[in-house]
């Protein structure tokens, strides 16, 4: 077996890619398929919803903290894609609460319908210089982008696996049920200082003294997204060949994610960013095309992850992170659901 190669992605390479990368949305008919987009009421998530509507997905589920915002987005889909004849449903999901995340997954697992695509897109960037903990006692970015996204992946893999056993819609024959974890190119730039802390990695990430700054924390959280994609890809639903899991980078896109940084900085970023429509082509690609399990998708193609992720230290950190995630999940009263997936 050849050693996996990582790559560095310099700021210059980023600027070059941002200026010149050209890729189109895959042309696929998703009639008969159901797609879930977390954080699908705005920004990149809503752009992904529109891609799925243009591809005729029969059912689209938009989930976020606000049912009102999700309902408004669901109505807008029919204005933005007038030809769309499918159903758009909404669900409440708050990844900053384990109890809410578990309820969301239980409701979806109890749903009689199929689930072909999950774009785990909901994510946050912390407010500058603000260490904020959730009601569960974890730093918010760690819980939303890291822990709860991983928990949702584990709890919903059996639903994707069950869907794999259902009839395959004619327009998208080769496609496996797929979970795409939304990561970012910023994972290339993370120094992941907490990886060197002795003892628990999650304790280190949850220690205010080890919260370097909001930017570093966001970068670390996107390394965690890559880790989650690679670890979920080792689970039986994926190794059996029934289901696909990968992680995906949309590129720097217009959205509300930088609103935390103040109106001027957010405006500057949005002025130079890609449209969310362009970035979300990556989500359509990662969730419908036959990638390698655990692959990282960037500019609509499989791309090496960072040199840190594939380094011995990175592999050790990934394994440690995953083990500690599972230790936390085991304390949440969902043992039977975990056993189904692991
Ligand atoms: N924009 C970029 O340049 C860029 C680049 C690389 C990667 N990304 C990634 O792309 C994803 C989408 O970001 P975006 O830029 O589109 O940001 P955005 O416009 O801020 O959208 C974030 C979405 O996540 C939802 N959300 C936030 N907190 C949540 C929670 N606790 N539970 C459930 N849903 C929650 C929000 O809905 P509610 O407020 O209704 O909950 C919203 O729909 C993120 O994972 C981000 O890290 C973005």
Q: 4 in a domain, yes or no?
A: no
222 annotated active-site: yes
Q: Is residue 63 part of a domain?
A: yes
Pair 252, 120: CB distance under 8 Å: no
Three-state DSSP string of the chain: CCCCCCECCCHHHHHHHHHHCCCCCCCCCCCCCEEEEECCCCHHHHHHHHHHHHCCCCEEEEEECCHHHHHHHHHHHHHHCCCCCCEEEEEECCCCCHHHHHHHHHHHHHCCCCCCEEEECCCCCCCCCCCCECCCCCEHHHHHHHHHHHHHHHHHHHHHHHHHCCCCCHHHCCCCCEEEEECCHHHHHCCCHHHHCCCCHHHHHCCHHHCCCHHHHHHHHHHHHHHHHHHHCCCHHHHCCCCEEEEEECCCECCCCCHHHCHHHHHHHHHHCECHHHHHHHHHHHHHCCCCCCCEEECCEECCCEHHHHCHHHHHHHHHHHHHHHHHHCCCCCHHHHHHHC
Catalytic site residue 184?
yes
List the domain range (segments joined by +) for residue 310: 11-18+26-341
Binned at pLDDT 50, 70 and 90, residue 235 comes out as very high
Please check whether residue 196 lies inside any domain of the structure.
Answer: yes
pTM greater than 0.95: yes
Domain containing residue 117: CATH number? 3.40.50.720
- Give domain status of residue 88, yes or no: yes
**pLDDT tens sequence across 262-297:** 999 999 999 999 999 999 999 999 999 999 999 999
Q: Which atom of ligand 1 is nearest to the CA of 66?
A: 40
Place 129 in a pLDDT band, splitting at 50, 70 and 90. Answer: confident
Q: Is residue 6 part of a domain?
A: no
In a domain, 2, yes or no: no
Confirm or reject: Cβ of 257 under 6 Å from ligand 1.
yes
Ligand 1 site-directed mutation target among 9, 17, 41, 43, most atoms within 8 Å of CB? 43
Question: How many whole angstroms from 41 Cα to the centroid of ligand 1?
Answer: 9
Is there a domain that residue 37 lies in? Answer: yes
Number of domains in the chain: 1
pLDDT, average across residues 54-75: 98
Told to judge if 9 belongs to the known catalytic residues of this protein, a careful annotator would answer no
Catalytic residue among 9, 138, 188, 218: 218
- C-beta 95 within 6 A of ligand 1: yes
Q: Considering 184, 286, 287, 306, which one is annotated as catalytic?
A: 184
| Residue 3 counted as domain residue | no
Q: Is the CB of 44 under 6 A from ligand 1?
A: yes
Provide the pLDDT for residue 260: 87
């Amino acid at each position: 077996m050849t050693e996996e190669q990582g790559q560095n992605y310099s700021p210059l390479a980023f600027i070059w890619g941002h200026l010149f990368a050209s890729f189109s949305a895959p042309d696929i008919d998703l009639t008969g398929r159901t797609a879930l987009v977390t954080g699908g009421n705005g920004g990149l998530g809503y752009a992904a919803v529109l891609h799925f509507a243009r591809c005729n997905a029969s059912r689209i589920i938009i989930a976020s903290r606000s049912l009102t915002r999700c309902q408004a987005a669901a109505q807008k889909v029919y204005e933005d894609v007038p030809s769309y004849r499918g159903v758009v449903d909404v669900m409440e999901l708050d990844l900053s609460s384990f109890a809410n995340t578990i309820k969301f997954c239980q409701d979806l697992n109890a749903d009689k319908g199929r689930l072909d695509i999950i774009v785990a897109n909901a994510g946050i960037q912390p407010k500058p210089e603000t260490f904020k903990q959730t009601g569960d006692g974890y730093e918010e970015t760690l819980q939303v982008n890291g822990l709860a996204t991983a928990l949702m992946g584990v709890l919903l893999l059996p639903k994707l696996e069950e869907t794999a056993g259902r009839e395959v819609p004619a327009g998208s024959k080769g496609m496996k049920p797929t979970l795409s974890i939304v990561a970012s190119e910023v994972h290339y730039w993370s120094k992941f200082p907490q990886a060197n802390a002795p003892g628990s990695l999650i304790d280190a990430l949850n220690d205010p003294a080890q919260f370097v700054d909001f930017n570093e924390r966001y970068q670390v959280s996107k390394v965690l997204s890559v880790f989650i994609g690679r670890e979920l890809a080792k689970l039986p639903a994926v190794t059996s060949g029934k289901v696909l899991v990968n992680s995906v980078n949309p590129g720097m896109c217009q959205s509300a994610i930088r609103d935390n940084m103040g109106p001027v900085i957010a405006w500057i970023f949005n002025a130079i960013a890609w449209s969310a429509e362009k970035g979300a082509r990556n989500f359509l690609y990662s969730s419908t095309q036959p990638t390698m399990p655990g692959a990282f998708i960037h500019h609509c193609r499989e791309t090496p992850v960072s040199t840190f992720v594939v380094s011995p230290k990175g592999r050790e950190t990934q394994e440690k992170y995953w083990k500690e995630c599972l230790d936390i999940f085991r304390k949440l009263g969902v043992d039977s659901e975990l056993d189904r997936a692991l």
